[in-house]
Structure 1
Amino acid sequence: MGAVYTQLSLQERRKIENWWHAKVPVREMARVLKRHKSTIFREIKRNFWADDAFPKKYAGYFGHAAQLQTNKRRSVQRKLIRHPELCKTVVAKIKLGWTPEQIGNRMIYEGAKLRV
């Protein structure tokens, strides 16, 4: 199995924000947070805020806003939360002893519109 990946926490995002405003190099941020530098680069790029209606001095990376955006992205992707009937079906089959692979493949075989 590969390495275990954990999401950045709000505290880590706040540290990145402070360091970004202080112009600390990304390599140093990554070293202190014990993360790969590409993780920090992606985080800043993905959650960088800029609006043409505001002057450029207001653009930047903001840790709390980044956390809210991340929570929003993750909640949108949760199919079982968005579709309660699908969730009931999956939970029922798991209680019968089916594996997630068996459930997903059976849904493909049956031609279900919603699949996991």
Structure 2
Amino acid sequence: MEKIFVANLDDIQSDALLSKTVNGQKVLLSKINGQLCAVENRCPHLGLPLAKGKVCDGAVVCPFHGSSFNLLTGENVDWTNAFIGIPMPGWTHKLIALGKSPQALNTFKVECEGEQVFIHI
């Protein structure tokens, strides 16, 4: 794994998303409960970007289909419950999922050296 500089510590805000491209890999950085985290900026449902999603209770919510993922672990918290940000009734969730099963986000190890933040790719 290669250790790559991604941002300065001050650039990463609590409960907010910072989008970066590192060696062709799209990454989201955040700070949750004081802990830095990095995940792939790609929803596993349809591969759409998560950068415009909201952070809620330590999870990023996909702005397209409502899937949410724990930013510290990548674990799927909820799967396809909305369409273009509009919450949908439970009976539609399987239709929105298009037959895809819930999946986790890829995560990256984060390391700080002084005020510089690195991830391992």
Shorter-chain TM-score above 0.5: no
By relative contact order (CA 8 Å, sep 6+), the higher-ranking structure is: 2
TM-score range, shorter chain: under 0.3
Greater percentage in strand: 2
* TM-score normalised by structure 1 residue count: 0.21
* TM-score normalised by structure 2 residue count: 0.21
